[in-house]
Structure 1
Amino acid sequence: MKKWIFAAALVLVAGLAAPWGVGALTEQQWQQTQALLQQQPMMTMETRRYERGYTGAEVAGTLGFDSPDSGETLTLAYQGEIRHGLWGSELTLRFGSTDDEWVQVLFPDQRPTLRADFKAWGSADLNFILPAFEAVEPATGESIASSELVLAGTLFDQGNGFDLTLDWPGLVARGPNATMTVNDVTMSQTMNRLRGDVWTGEAALRVDRFTARLEGEPEVSAQGLAIDSKTEAGADGERFTGVTGLTLNRVRSEGEEAGPFRMDFELRDFQVDAWNRLLGAFTRLQMTAVAPDAGLSRQQRIEQQVQAMENLSAGLKSLAAAGMSFGFPSVSLSFPEGEVTGEVMLSHPELGADQADQLELVMQRLTGVMTWRLPAALVASEPALMAELAPLVEQGLVVREGDVYRVDARLQDLELNVNGRIIPLPPMI
C-alpha cells in the first residue's frame, strides 16, 4: 500500500510542478525566438512585458519592420496571454493597439490574432486570423474591403520543418480612377530544413482571378494563376535542385484573349554550403545598407560596405566553383497569332581545389544557351514590337525564317554566338 501511496504522491508532485516547468521552458523559448528575430534583416522584436505566473503569463511588446526604401521603421504592437499546461503552452497574441487609429477603423470588433499550441517536445500548431475589414475615405472616394484571411500551420522537429496553408477569399479596392479585385487565394507549403537556409519540400500558390480597371482604359482580367515550387536534395544531401513553375491560364481585355502562359525557373545541382555562404554574404550586405552601425564613422561604414561586397563576390565564386546551372529551361506564351517559346540557361563547371583557388572571374568558364521563337503574325500585329525588332534583324541578331522570328545564342569562353555572329564579352563578373 505504501508504495502505491508513494507513486501517487510522485504523480501529484509532477502534475503540480509541470506548469511551472513548462512556464520556465516557454519563457526561455520566447527569449530565444526574440534573439533569433533580432538577427534577421529589416526586422526587430521588443518584449516590454513578460510577467510569468504559475499557470500562465502576460506578454506585450512591439515588432519593428524596416523599410529598405525609406529607412523608416513600421512598429506593430502586440499583447497576449500564455497558458501553461502539463505538456505545453497555449499562446494568444493580438496585434495592434486599441489606441491606434487604424485598428479602430479596420478592426473595431476583432483584432488580427495569432493562436499557437506549443508542445514540450518541439512541435506547435499555429493559427493566424486577419479579420474581414472595410474602410472608406469620404474625401477621395477610395475604399477597400477584404475577406477574412486564415493562415494555419504546424511546426515540427524543433522548428526544422513546417506545414502551412492559407485561405483568403480576396479583396476589392476602389478609387476615383481605378478598381482592383483579387478572388480566391490559396497556398500550401511543406518544408524541411536541409542545412542552414536551404529547405526542401513543395509549395503551391493559387489565385483564381485578378481584375484591374483604370479610368479611360479597358478592364484587364487574369484567371488561373498558379505557382508551384519543389526543392529536392541530392542523394548525399550536399546538393539541391529547385524548380518553380508559373502558369497563367488566361488574360482577357477588350474582348481579346490570350493564354495559357507558362515558364519554369530552375536552380540545378547547387552546392548547399556554397549557397548558404552566398546568402549569408548577401544578408550582411543588406544589413550594412539598411541598418548601419550608428557607432561607426563614415569612413568605417564605407569600409564595412566594401568588405561586404568582397564577401558577396567570394560567395559567388565559391558557388560557381562548386558547379551549378540555373535559368529558364522552358518558356511558353500562347497568343491568338501563335506561340512564343524560349529557353535561357547558364552553367558553370565544377572546379578542382587548385582551379577554385585561382578563379578570378566567374564569366571565364560560364556557358549558356538562349533560344527564342516568335510568330511573325504576332510581331506584325504589334507595331512597337516590330519597330524594336527591325534593327536587330538588320544586324543579324534576329533571323526571320518563314512564319517565325528566331534567336539562337550560345555563350562560351567570354564569347556570345548569336545566330553565327560572334560578340566578345567584357570580363565583368
Structure 2
Amino acid sequence: MIRKLFFALLALAIVVLVGLGIVVATHKTRPAPIASAAQDDTAKLIERGAYLSRAGDCVACHSVPGKPDYAGGLAIKSGLGTIYSTNITPDKTHGIGNYTEAQFADALRNGVRADGANLYPAMPYPDFVKISDEDVHALYTYFMQGVAPSDYAPPQTALTFPFGVRPGLKVWNALFTTDAGFTAPAGASEQIARGAYLTESLGHCSSCHTPRGLSMNEQALDSGDAKFLTGGELNGWPVPALRGMAHWSQQDITDYLSGGRNSTAAVGGEMTAVVANSTSHMTDADLQAIAAYLKSLPGAAAPTAKLDPAASQQTIARLTAAKDLSTGERLYLDNCGACHFVSGQGAARVFPHVDGASVVNAKRPDGLLHVILAGAATPSTAKAPSVLPMPGFASRLDDAEVAELATYVRQAWSNQAPAVSAKDAARVRASLHK
C-alpha cells in the first residue's frame, strides 16, 4: 500500500534534540538467521518470499508503470517534499544486490541501509521490526534469487533542511520505534495469533489505521495499546477503526480483502491499491486469520451512523414521491439513484451502501467529495475479476452542486454528518490535479 503519510513535525525532534547534543543509542539489530544452503529448498523459499512480499505490499511502493517491478522510483509526496522509493532488485549498482542478509534485515526492521544511513519512515520499518527471522530469510532469498535485477536508477530523494538530515532520524527512531519482535496476544488461538502477526508486521495496517502523534509517529504498535487500529485520516480520507468491526462479520472482512467488495461496501482510496497488490493475493486461511484477529479486538467507535429505520423510511418516501424536491434530493436522484437506489442500500457486492457508510459519515467530507468528483473503481482480483466503476462528476457538477449533493447524502436516511461547503468541494477538486 502506498504510504503517503510522513512526519510533518519531524524537524522539531531533529532540530531540538540534535541541537541540544542529545546522544541517542541506535537500535540493536537482531542478527539475521543463518541457514545452511544444503538444508534450504530454494525454490520453496523463493515461492514463500514472493508470497510474503505480497503480504507486505512491497511492489506497490517500489514500482512505477513502465519500469520493472521493485525497481523503485515511486514519487511519494509529503508536506516536506517528495520521497522516491528505492530500487530493491538484486542489481549490484542501483539495487540491493550487495546486501548481506544481516544488512537486508537491518533495512527491513530498523530502517538502516547497508551504508549505515537511515531510511525515511515512509518505509514502515516500525511495523516490519516484528517480521520473524524465518520470513526475513525467505524474503531475502526471494529478492536475491527470484527477482530480476534492474539497472534503473530512481530519482534521489533530496529534502530541504532540516528534513534531509538523515542522522536526525536516529532521534526519531529512538523516540518512536522499538526493537521488540512479535508477541501473540495472551490466550490467542492459533488462527488469531497468525492474524495478529500478519496485521502487526507484514501487513503494517497500523501505519494507516492507528492515530498519529505530533511527530507523525504511530501512537500504538500492537493490540496491547487501546489506541491501536482506532482509525484516523490519510490524505483527507477517513481511515476507519478496525477494532472489533461490529458492523461486519468475519466473512465480510475476508470478502473485502480478497475482492475489494462485500455485501455492503466497495473499496476506495488508498485501500484500492492494497487490495489489488497485496491482500487479494493472500490465501483465504490468512485472510480469515486477519479477520478473526480484528474481530477479537475490543471495539472502538467507528465513523458510521446508527441505522435509524424510521429516518430511512422518511427519506425513501420523499425520493419515491419525487415532489417538491430540494436541490440535494434532485441531485441525488439525477446522479446517484440509479445505482444506490432511493433506499441508499445499493446492490449487494455491486453498489455499496450510502446509508450508514463510514466514508459518508466521516467528520471530514474529503473522501466522499473525492468519490463524487473523481469516481472510483474496484480492482480486478482473482475472486472478483470484474471492475465495477463509478463515474466522477467533476465535469458535470460545479462546486456548489457537489456540496449540496454531499450534504444531502450525509444527512439523509440514518446519516447525521455535518454539512459540506462549496469551499470544501473546491479544495478537494483542486487536489485532484496535484
Higher relative contact order (CA 8 A, sep 6+): 2
Bigger share in helix: 2
Larger Rg: 1
- Same-fold status (TM-score > 0.5): no
TM-score for the superposition, normalised by structure 2: 0.31
TM-score for the superposition, normalised by structure 1: 0.31
Bigger share in strand: 1
